[in-house]
A = this chain, B = another copy of it.
Amino acid sequence: MLDFSKSAKGLLPAIVQDYKTRRVLMLAYINELAWKKTLETGKAHYWSRSRNKLWLKGESSGHVQIIHDIFVDCDADTVLFLVEQRGGAACHVGYASCFYRRVAGDDILIEEEKVFDPKQVYK
């Protein structure tokens, strides 16, 4: 269903979108194992490139992502997860979405408040 050979390291990008608001929450990477675990459990799993290990999103914060729908793109090398984001925030910095910074000319603006304090959540 997916063509993991498209990437040298067998990692494909997964776009994560809120299933209700359709806000894009984050982008992460999956390998075959993360893909299989996501399908099996109905919770989004990724491959952490920094830690080089399987990553159940929310394993530390409790902010898991419940899968509502999955779409595959025309080239079978990108997936789109429509999720329910538990805890209301996908970003480890504390914002609802990782895309909390808007480009405005040469500036970058933050126009929203954090949902949680990372110091309280990642202990």
Contacts and interface: CB of A to CB of B under 8 A. Distances in A.
Interface in A85-102: 91-93, 95, 98-102
One complex includes copies of this chain to the number of: 2
Contacts of A101: 71-74
A93 B74 contact: yes
Contacts of A100: 71, 74
A23 interface: yes
Given A72-B108, A108-B1, A80 B22 contact: no
Contacts of A108: 1, 72
A interface bracket (residues with beta carbon within 8 Å of B)? 20 to 34
Interface string A56-71: 0000000000000111
Contact of A103 (B1, B21, B102, B103): B1
A23 to B, nearest CB: 7
B103 A72 contact: yes
Interface of A: 1, 13, 15, 17, 21-24, 26-27, 39, 69-75, 78, 80, 91-93, 95, 98-103, 108
